[in-house]
């Protein structure tokens, strides 16, 4: 199954592997900076090949970017403070060795190996920001349950400020439990996922408290990332009250409902855009452009990044032609769980650091390409991002 088809079936498949902008045909201008390898790699640029539509038409693309500039942006990540308002989720992974087929039903019996938990949803975005070097101010709610306590423990071990996270006795912490099965010495495969979700809406008092804390962090943060998984902590009505300097959005189910929320930029995946406009894109690049431009207008955005699986990213900006950014790294991901959280975390942090939308999209694409090669709900570090950029610089210098 192609990744784009997988994306249509699974809302978790929202990651893209970043661009290989700097591979072939790059033109280099040299300056003395950051060592010999960087001297040769400075000012490397490339214009990507336009993708063809099913009718043979092409989209004008311009993926030119300064590699050294991207490195400088990553180096400044540690100076940024980012707020995150969203739905905190616990991702559980239960691993088992296949023992036999049950006599009770035609199902596998698994011998339990281990159970692991990771921050998911908005919590995964928080962890990605922290590992990229930013100071993070999360705002949301967890239940007074085992999953909520585990999430708070994850935050505290990472030394992330939890003063903006409410504990609600009447709330169930959303939990996604994935069951993985495998034989000895074989790769585990997911065979089942069980979701535990709140069975009621957030109380009015909890919503009001989240909005209040959100406004407080918006005053202190260079940007606020909104991670909406549909559980209520990042509703459009609540986000409208934030008044943030820069506001980015990742909304799983209700993208167009944020039209009056003051969003600066959004990073939906292609299936989310298709769901918003009730039509498939497929290989029709004209339809992709139409949906992108419509979403840009409907949400009153400055920029929109549509992540497209193996087909890369499409960047839309006001008064500019759309840009296509090819994937970075392998088109055979190891695990795409939560990769969309990594993409918007890197994108938001880059914008807060002064990046253009194109530069931010490239950095997000690199981050996405790195994280999908890791198992479980994972993050990308600033060191990994820097290493990937330097490796491209070295490759280009070697091929000059």
Which residue numbers are catalytic? 341
| Residue in 17, 101, 37 with CA at minimum distance from that of residue 325 | 17
Helix, strand, coil percentages, rounded to 5, for the chain:
35, 25, 40
**Residue 11: other Cβ atoms inside 10 A:** 15
Contact 222, 246 (CB under 8 A): yes
Counting Cα atoms < 13 Å in the Cβ hemisphere of 322 gives 25
Alpha-carbon distance of 320 to 60, in angstroms, equals 10
> What phi and psi values does residue 200 have, to the nearest 5 degrees?
-150, 165
CA-based torsion, 228, 230, 232, 235: positive or negative? positive
CA-based torsion, 356, 311, 332, 274: positive or negative? positive
| Residue in 118, 131, 38 with CA at minimum distance from that of residue 82 | 131
- 59 Cα distance to chain centroid: 25
């Amino acid at each position: 199954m192609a990744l784009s088809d997988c994306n249509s079936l699974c809302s978790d498949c929202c990651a893209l592997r970043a661009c290989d902008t700097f591979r072939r045909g790059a033109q280099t201008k040299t300056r003395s900076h950051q060592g010999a390898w960087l001297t040769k790699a400075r000012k490397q640029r490339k214009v990507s090949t336009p993708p063809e539509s099913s009718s043979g038409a092409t989209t004008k693309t311009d993926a030119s970017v300064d590699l050294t500039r991207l490195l400088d942006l990553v180096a400044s990540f540690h100076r940024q403070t980012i707020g995150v308002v969203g739905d905190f989720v616990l991702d559980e992974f239960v691993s088992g060795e296949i023992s036999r087929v049950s006599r009770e039903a035609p199902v596998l019996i698994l011998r339990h190996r281990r159970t692991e938990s990771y921050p998911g949803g908005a919590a995964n975005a928080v962890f990605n920001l922290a590992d990229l070097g930013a100071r993070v101010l999360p705002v949301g709610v967890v239940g007074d349950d085992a999953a909520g306590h585990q999430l708070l423990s994850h935050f505290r071990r990472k030394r992330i400020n939890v003063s903006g996270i409410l504990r609600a006795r009447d709330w169930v912490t959303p939990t996604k439990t994935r069951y993985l099965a495998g034989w000895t010495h074989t790769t585990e495969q997911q065979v089942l996922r069980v979701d535990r979700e709140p069975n009621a809406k957030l109380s009015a008092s909890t919503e009001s408290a989240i909005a209040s804390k959100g406004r407080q962090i918006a005053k202190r943060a260079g940007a606020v990332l909104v991670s909406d998984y549909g559980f209520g902590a990042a509703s459009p009505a609540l986000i409208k009250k934030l008044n943030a300097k820069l506001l980015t959005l990742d909304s799983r189910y209700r993208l167009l409902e944020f039209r009056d929320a003051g969003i600066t930029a959004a990073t939906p995946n292609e299936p989310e855009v298709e769901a918003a406009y009730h039509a498939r894109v497929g290989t029709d690049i004209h339809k992709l452009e139409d949906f992108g431009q419509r979403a840009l207008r409907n949400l009153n955005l400055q920029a929109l990044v549509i992540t497209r699986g193996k087909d890369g990213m499409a960047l839309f900006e006001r008064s500019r032609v759309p840009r296509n950014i090819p994937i970075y790294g392998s088109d055979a991901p190891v695990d795409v769980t939560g990769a969309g959280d990594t993409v918007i975390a890197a994108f938001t942090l880059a914008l807060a650091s002064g990046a253009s939308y194109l530069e931010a999209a490239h950095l997000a694409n690199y981050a996405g390409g790195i994280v999908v090669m890791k198992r479980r709900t994972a993050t990308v570090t600033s060191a990994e991002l820097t290493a990937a950029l330097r490796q491209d610089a070295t490759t280009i210098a070697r091929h000059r």
